[in-house]
Amino acid sequence: MTQTSPAPGSPDPVYLDHNATTPVDVDVLAAMLPFLREEFGNPSSSHPAGRRARAAVETARAEVAALIGAAPDEIVFTSGGTESSNTAIRGAATAREGRRGIVTTAFEHPATEECCRLLERAGHVVRRVAPQSDGRVLAADVITSLDDATALVTVIHAQNEIGTLQPVAEIARAARARGVWIHADAAQSLGKVPVDVEALGVDLLTIAGHKLYAPKGIGALYIRRGVALPPLLAGAGQEHGRRAGTENVAFMVGLGAACRIAAARLEQDAARMRVLAAGLLARLRDTVPGLILVGDPDARLPNTLNVLFPGVSGRLLLEACPGVLASTGSACHAGSEAPSAVLLALGFAPEIALGAVRLSLGRATTEADVAAAADHLAAAWRTLREPAAPAPRLSGALS
């Protein structure tokens, strides 16, 4: 059972920021609670409490593996998506002796882009492939960037701001044929669309728990058998020597439960959110002339709309719209506002890109939520677009 949205008419705002984070599913919380209370054993202990904790961790590992079509021993638990991507990217760059090239895209999540910048400063060569105006990279552009010095290709599976799906499988076939490892960041796509490591052909895959109704602070990295990465952390031999540190049993159990739930309801959730997102877009287009949908209209996450409101700042729009909780891609520093680098990479002019709002639906989103959100957003847009009325003249005032 998933937490529900506020009832229609409730003063609570409509939450449309599920790409930022999701609520912890109540069944996930129920699975975790025993390991936060009475089942507190250390999985490395040999007594019964430790063995029960170890069994819970291995059950969770199998549940994560099952969602992505992997074997349990290919799953390493981490603290979240950032650690997973760092382990994959920095580890691959270190492990591939004689190969110092990285190929990526120009609109990756910071967990990937900052790793690539770090490697550049250390002397690695990073090639960034620009996306097309529809928010997707061409596989051919990535493939032509490969050479014999390339250690790794790292590509986001679903772009986190605009939701477009990237041609990972096509890229992977060419990369692996040349002996190049491929890493995909699936933090945003897992639980929303099918993610199968064999179908994608990836060697490494990032998972973030809080994007699919597990807690923050837990994630996983898929490492294909035969791919040897140096550990990011030095310490004891947990996670078969691949990630040191006493296991966070409760959160691992939570991620496993979240993956089991996602597998059971993936198809129905995707279909329902696709319908709701289409309805939200239609309502906004009806009430906001000139609204632009960013990215490919079909090759995208079913729950995600990145839309450009004409003539206004997306940040100011959301500030004027307390009835909706959503995100923009802009950054605000010292009173100035900069448009999303992702939208600039797609070719949007800065003044247009500043109108971006990302609306991301979740399992609990209802038709009533969609209707209310569309009304709130359109009303806020009209308010910002209308010129301020002149102040009334005071009677008897001197002319």
The CATH number for 249's domain is: 3.40.640.10
The residues, any chain, with a CB within 8 Å of residue 245's CB and separated by 6 or more, are 233, 235, 236, 238
What pLDDT is recorded for position 331? 55
Number of domains in the chain: 2
Residue 392 within any structural domain of the chain? no
pLDDT band at 390 (very low <50, low <70, confident <90, very high): low
Which of 219, 234, 262 marks a domain boundary?
262
Whether residues 215 and 238 share a domain: the answer is yes
For residues 82, 87, 88, 92, the Cα torsion angle rounded to the nearest 10 degrees is 140
pLDDT at position 306 over 50: yes
Summarize the confidence of residues 26-34 as an average pLDDT: 98
Question: Same domain, yes or no, for 232 and 350?
Answer: no
- Give pLDDT, residue 386: 81
| Statement to judge: residues 93 and 234 lie in one domain | yes
Query: At residue 101, does pLDDT exceed 90?
Result: yes
- 399 lies in some domain: no
SS3 116: helix
Q: Where are the beta strands (DSSP E) in the chain?
A: 14-15, 75-78, 101-105, 125-129, 150-156, 181-185, 204-208, 219-223, 292-293, 304-308, 324-325, 331-333, 336-338, 356-360
Residue range 135-140: mean pLDDT, rounded? 98
Residue corresponding to tokens 């000139």: 290
pLDDT, one tens digit per residue, over 327-336 is 997 555 445 5
Residues 83 and 64 reside in one and the same domain: yes
97 and 41 within one domain? yes
Question: For the whole model, what pTM was predicted?
Answer: 0.92
State pLDDT tens for residues 308-333.
999 999 999 999 999 999 999 755 54
Evaluate whether residue 19 is within a structural domain.
yes
Same domain, residue pair 270 and 228: no
Q: How far apart are CA 354 and CA 337, in angstroms?
A: 8
Structural contact between residues 127 and 104, judged by C-beta atoms closer than 8 angstroms: yes
Look at phi and psi of residue 335 and say left if phi exceeds 0, alpha if psi is from -120 to 50, else beta.
left
For residues 42 and 191, state if they share a domain: yes
pLDDT in the model for residue 186: 98
Residues 30, 19 within the same domain? no
Q: Which of 115, 116, 321, 332 is catalytic?
A: 332
Average pLDDT of 23-29? 98
User: Could you report the per-residue pLDDT of 337-353, keeping only the tens digit for each?
Assistant: 889 999 999 999 999 99
Shared-domain flag, residues 107 and 245: yes
**Could you say which DSSP state residue 309 is in?**
-
Mean per-residue pLDDT for 227-250? Answer: 89
Instruction: Show the DSSP H helices in 69-165 as ranges.
Output: 81-95, 110-121, 139-143
Pairing state between β 150-156 and 219-223:
unpaired
Beta-strand ranges (E) seen in 323-366 are 324-325, 331-333, 336-338, 356-360
pLDDT above 90 for 49: yes
Residues 6+ apart with CB under 8 A from 337: 313, 315, 330, 331, 354
Q: What is the CATH number of the domain that holds 320?
A: 3.90.1150.10
pLDDT single digits (tens) 355-384? 999 999 999 999 999 999 999 999 999 999
Residue 224 counted as domain residue: yes
Are residues 31 and 171 both part of a single domain?
yes
135 has pLDDT over 60: yes
- In this predicted model, what pLDDT tens digit does every residue of 150-172 receive, in sequence order? 999 999 999 999 999 999 999 99
In the predicted model, what is the mean pLDDT of residues 8-20?
Answer: 81
pLDDT of residue 157: 98
Parent domain of 349: 14-23+265-385
- 235 — pLDDT class (breaks 50, 70, 90): confident
Is 332 an annotated catalytic residue?
Answer: yes
228/242 Cα distance (integer angstroms): 9
Instruction: Please check whether residues 212 and 287 belong to one and the same domain.
Output: no
The more confident residue out of 263 and 11 is 263
Does residue 122 fall inside a structural domain? yes
The crossing angle, in degrees rounded to 10, of helices 48-68 and 249-287 is: 30
Q: Is residue 179 part of a domain?
A: yes
- Structural domain ending residue among the three candidates 262, 294, 329: 262
pLDDT exceeds 80 at position 33: yes
337 falls within a domain: yes
Point out the least confidently predicted range of 55-69, 78-92, 136-150, 223-237: 223-237
pLDDT value for 392:
53
pLDDT value at position 237?
85
Both 207 and 331 in a single domain? no
Please say if the pLDDT value at position 8 is more than 70.
no
Which residue, of 204, 238, 262, is where some domain finishes? 262
The per-residue pLDDT for range 172-206, each reduced to its tens digit, is: 999 999 999 999 999 999 999 999 999 999 999 99
Crossing angle for the helix pair 249-287 and 367-385, to the nearest 10 degrees? 60
Calculate mean pLDDT across residues 63-84.
98
Residue at 305 is within a domain: yes
